[in-house]
Amino acid sequence: MFRPGSRSWVVAVVSLLVLAIAGEAGADSKLRIIVIAPFDATALDREEQWMGEGIAQILALGLAQNASIVQIERSRLRSAGRADTWTEANLAQAARSVRADAALFGRLEKRGTEVAVVPELMDIKASGQDVTNLEPVVGPSGELFGRLAGLPATYARTLRVSLTDADAARIEKAARPTRIPRAFELYSRGMIAAQRGDQEGNEAAVDLLSRAIEVDPSFVVATYMLGVVHSSLGNRWKAAAQFRASTQLDATYPEPAKALGDLYLSQPRRLFDQAIEAYSKAIELRPFYADAYVGLGDAKAAKSDVDGAIAAYQKALIYNPVNPRVHMSLGKIYYGEKGLYYESVNAYKKAIDLDPRSVDARMGLGEVYEEKGLYKEATEEYKRVIEIDGKHTGAMYNLALVYEKVDPKAAITQWERYIELAAPLATEKDWVDVARQHLRKLKNQVKD
C-alpha cells in the first residue's frame, strides 16, 4: 500500500483517475460541447443592435440548466480572433479551436414593423460543417424577448439532447431572467461592455447593470453579474455583497455560491473551509457544475488534501472534458509534489492546448521550467504571458529573475520595466522593493 501523499501514491491515484474517466466514456459521448455567438444584428437600427447579444444571453442562461450541454466560455473564442459579426467561416474556425461539437448563431431581420430572429445551428465535423436552420421567431421588438424563452429547448432538441417536460420547463424558466424588457436591454448592454475586458468596459458595465437592477430589483442574474464585474475591478466587498444579494433573491441559483467560493479562495487570508462550503453548496444546487468542482479541487489542494482534490477534478472532467482549468490545476498538484515533473508539464501543456490564452497555465509551466533550469523554455512562456497581458506583473518579475541567470543586461532592462509598471500598485510594494535591490546589484556587477 502506498503512503498518502507519496510520489507512488499520487501516480497511482492519477492512473485511477484516467481509468475512471475512460470508464465514463459513455457519459462523455452524450455531451454536446457548444459555443454560442451573438446573433448578427447589423440589419437593425443601431439602438436595437444589443438584441444580438441578448439572444446569446438567453441561450446561455437556458442551456446552462442541462447536464448534457457543455458551454465554452465566450472569452476563449478570442484566441481565434475577435469578430464584430461572426461569419460561418470564422465561427467554424473558432469552434474547432476550442474543441466544440456545435456552434449556435443566427441573425435578426426587419420584417415590416416586426423583427425576426433566425436561429442557426452549425455542426462541426472533421470533414467540414453542416448548418441547420431553425424555425424563426417573429414579433414586435418590444415583445420579442417574451417569445424567445422556448428557443434554448428548441436548440437542445436539435442537438439531439433528450428533454423531459420538467427539463424543458427548467430551461425555459432560466431563459426568462426578467419580465421587464427595459431591464433586459440594460443587462444585455452591460454584458457587451463587460466583454470588452478593460477598465472602461467594466465601469460601463457596472453602471448598466446597476440600472437594470433599479428597473427590476428581482433581476437575480443582473445582481450576480454586477458582482462578477465588481470582482474584475478588484472590488471584493462590493462583489461579495452582490453575490449574497443574488442568493437572497433566489436561494436555488448556484452561480453566486461558486463565485463566493472563488472570492474566499483568493482572499489574502485564504478562507479554505469557507470556500469548500461555498463550492459544495453550488454543487448541491447543480450537481453537474464543472467549474464548481474545479474550485472545490483547488480549495482541497490548498489544504493539502490531494486525494480530495483529484476526486473533485475527476468529477469536473466528467462533466466538462475540455475544461482547461482542470488540467492547469492538476499541473499545480504535480508541481507541488516536486517529483512529478513530466506529469506537471503535460498537464499544463494540455491546458494551454485547450486555451492558448490561459496566462495561469503558462505561468505554471514557466515556473516548472525555471525550477528545472530550462531557462529558454521558461523565458518563452513568460514572454507569451506578457504578450497576452501586457500588465501581468508576475510574468514580468519572473522573466527578470530568469534573465539574471542568462543575460544580466536584459535583466536590468526587464527589472526597470517591471518597476515602472508595478511601482504605482500598492499590492506590489514589497516586490518592487526587492526588484530595486536586484536592479542595484546588477548595475554594480555590470559596472565592475
Least confident of 71-85, 329-343, 422-436: 71-85
Q: What integer is the mean pLDDT of 371-396?
A: 95
215 inside domain: no
Choose from 299-308, 323-332, 380-389 the range with maximum mean pLDDT.
380-389
Structure confidence at residue 127 (pLDDT): 83
Q: What integer is the mean pLDDT of 401-406?
A: 94
Residue 339's pLDDT band, with cuts at 50, 70 and 90, is low
Structure confidence at residue 24 (pLDDT): 42
* 8-state DSSP, 78: G
Cβ atoms of 29 and 322 closer than 8 Å: no
pLDDT at residue 218 greater than cutoff 90: yes
Q: Among 283, 303, 284, which Cα is nearest to 293's?
A: 283
pLDDT in tens, 112-171: 999 999 999 999 988 888 999 999 999 998 888 889 999 999 999 999 999 999 999 999
Cβ atoms of 158 and 105 closer than 8 Å: no
Residue 269's pLDDT band, with cuts at 50, 70 and 90, is confident
Q: What is the phi-psi region of residue 250: left when phi exceeds 0, alpha when psi lies from -120 to 50, beta otherwise? A: beta
Three cell numbers, residue 291: 467549474
293 inside domain: no
Residue 356 CB neighbour total at 10 angstroms: 18
Q: Report the CATH number that the domain containing residue 422 is assigned in CATH.
A: 1.25.40.10
- Of 153, 176, 199, the residue that ends a domain is 176
Q: Report the CATH number that the domain containing residue 127 is assigned in CATH.
A: 3.40.50.10070
Of the chain, the percentage scoring pLDDT greater than 70 comes to 91
- Of 176, 200, 224, the residue that ends a domain is 176
pLDDT at residue 304 greater than cutoff 90: no
Q: What integer is the mean pLDDT of 21-37?
A: 66
pLDDT in tens, 416-425: 999 999 999 9
327 inside domain: no
Residue 25's pLDDT band, with cuts at 50, 70 and 90, is very low
Instruction: Please count the structural domains in the chain.
Output: 2
CB within 8 A of 65, min separation 6: which ones? 167, 170, 171, 174
Residue 8's pLDDT band, with cuts at 50, 70 and 90, is very low
What's the CA gap between 178 and 174, in Å, rounded?
Answer: 9
Residue 78's pLDDT band, with cuts at 50, 70 and 90, is low
Task: Please provide the average confidence, as pLDDT, over all residues in the chain.
Answer: 89
pLDDT at residue 101 greater than cutoff 60: yes
147 inside domain: yes
Residue 267's pLDDT band, with cuts at 50, 70 and 90, is confident
pLDDT in tens, 160-201: 999 999 999 999 999 999 999 999 999 999 999 999 889 999
Least confident of 107-116, 203-212, 253-262, 264-273: 264-273
85 inside domain: yes
Q: What integer is the mean pLDDT of 367-392?
A: 95
pLDDT in tens, 346-355: 999 999 998 8
Q: What integer is the mean pLDDT of 72-92?
A: 75
Structure confidence at residue 21 (pLDDT): 43
11 inside domain: no
Of the chain, the percentage scoring pLDDT greater than 90 comes to 76
Better-scored residue on pLDDT, 306 or 246: 246
Better-scored residue on pLDDT, 105 or 341: 105
pLDDT at residue 332 greater than cutoff 90: no
Three cell numbers, residue 188: 444585455
What's the CA gap between 192 and 300, in Å, rounded?
Answer: 35
Structure confidence at residue 6 (pLDDT): 43
Cβ atoms of 129 and 92 closer than 8 Å: yes
288 inside domain: no
Residue 82's pLDDT band, with cuts at 50, 70 and 90, is low
- Of 141, 176, 211, the residue that ends a domain is 176
245 inside domain: no
Q: Which domain holds residue 422?
A: 358-447
